[in-house]
Amino acid sequence: MSVVQPAMPKSWRPESKPHKFCPGCGHGLVLKALGEAIDELGIQDRVVFGCDIGCSLLSWDFFNVDSVQTHHGRTTPVMTGIKRANPDLITIAYMGDGGGYAIGSQHLVNAAARNERITVILALNCVYAMTGGQMAPTTLPGMKAETAPYGRDVELTGAPTQGPEMVAAIAGEGAYVARGTTANLRQLKGYIKKALQNQMDGKGFSFVEALSACPTNWRTNAEKTWAFVEKEMPKYFKVGEKKVPGAEQKEGQ
């Protein structure tokens, strides 16, 4: 009997598979959408992939593309530096919500404000995963985390960061901003493709946030994990395109 294996994206590096994420992790799905997007756009020879510290670093040898794993929060400037030095390359900064919205927020804000021709993809799992599930800027109100053991109190810690909304507000003409979810991979891949195409067209900054799962730190089984991704997260984080070059703002599709 032959086992049917789901096809891997061509741009994935088979030697580094199976990948190192926990079972059920959202990172693998986001990277699958990214891999397929790279394949469909035919840009494997031009992509430079940068990953952060946090669980995203486990993807440092994930693709058959040149890759740079850098420090916590600094992937955006490293990719900016590469792009400025060689605009023919397509640079992708891949990070978690801690890397993008806490320690690296100044880089995200300024790269967006400068409309850097790079693509940032951020996996949002509501926690600092690699360090063991502490509160992230995106932990939901009332949600428990290691440093919010009684649930996040927004009076004390503020409300969850709305990343794409913020980026859409500050990025200039030509920027592309969207929020997708691992619960709808086809749509997520579409957003990532558009974000990469936007960079290829030289229009402006492009940013995709992907709602993603961390069953390990959430301490959830498969069913509860999916329920959280599909039902809880989108209540706060509205899926859809937030900024599309030359188009009216669209939401919820």
Partner 1 sequence: MPEKLITEEKRVFMTGNEVCAWAAIAAGAQIMYGYPITPQNEIMHYWTRLAPKHGLKFLQTEDELSAGFTTCGGVMAGLKAFTATAGPGNVLMQEPFSMAEAMRLPIVSIIQQRGGPSTATVIYSQQEVSLTTFGGNGEGLRIVYSTATHQELFDYTIKAFQVSWKYRFPTFVLGDGYQAKMRESLTIYDPEQKGIKFEPATKYVGQPGTPGVDREPGHYRNTYNVEEELYEVLQGYFADYAKMAEEVAEYQAFDTEDADVVVLSHGVVSRGAKEAVEMLRKEGKKVGYFRPITLRPLPEKQLKELAAKAKKLVIVESAQGQFAKLIKDVIFGATCEIVPFFKPGVGITTDEIYAKVNEVL
Interface residues with ligand TPP (CB under 6 A) are 53-56, 72, 95-99, 123, 125, 127-131, 136
| Angstrom distance (rounded) from CA 140 to CA 20 | 27
> Using CB under 6 A, which residues numbered 44 to 103 contact ligand SF4?
55
228 is a site residue for partner 1 (CB under 8 A): no
CB of 250 to ligand TPP, least distance (A): 27
CB of 5 to ligand TPP, least distance (A): 26
| Angstrom distance (rounded) from CA 116 to CA 131 | 30
Please report the beta strands in 104-181, taking only residues with DSSP state E, as ranges in sequence order.
119-124, 127-128, 134-135, 176-181
Stretch in the footprint of partner 1 (CB under 8 A) among 65-73, 132-140, 159-167, 208-216? 65-73
Of 167 and 213, the one with the shorter C-beta distance to ligand SF4 is 213
Instruction: Give which of 189, 164, 161, 168 is closest to 179, Cα–Cα.
Output: 164
N- to C-terminal Cα separation, the chain: 41
Residue 109 and residue 170 in contact, taking contact as beta carbons nearer than 8 Å:
yes
x/- letters, 114..143, toward ligand SF4 (CB under 6 A): -----------x---xx-------------
Of 77 and 98, the one with the shorter C-beta distance to ligand SF4 is 98
Contacts of 119 (CB under 8 A, 6+ apart): 90, 91, 92, 93, 192, 195, 196, 198, 199, 206, 207, 208
Of 43 and 123, the one with the shorter C-beta distance to ligand SF4 is 123
User: In Å, how far are 20, 52, 114, 195 from 191, measured between CA atoms?
Assistant: 25, 21, 21, 6
Of 120 and 127, the one with the shorter C-beta distance to ligand TPP is 127
| Angstrom distance (rounded) from CA 63 to CA 14 | 8
Which residue of 13, 39, 230, 240 would you call a contact of partner 1, by CB under 8 A? 13
x/- letters, 110..139, toward partner 1 (CB under 8 A): x-----------------------------
CA angle 158/170/69 to nearest 5° reads 80
CB of 213 to ligand SF4, least distance (A): 7
Which residue of 9, 64, 97, 176 would you call a contact of partner 1, by CB under 8 A? 64
Stretch in the footprint of partner 1 (CB under 8 A) among 39-47, 120-128, 157-165, 190-198? 39-47
Question: Which amino acid, 73?
Answer: G
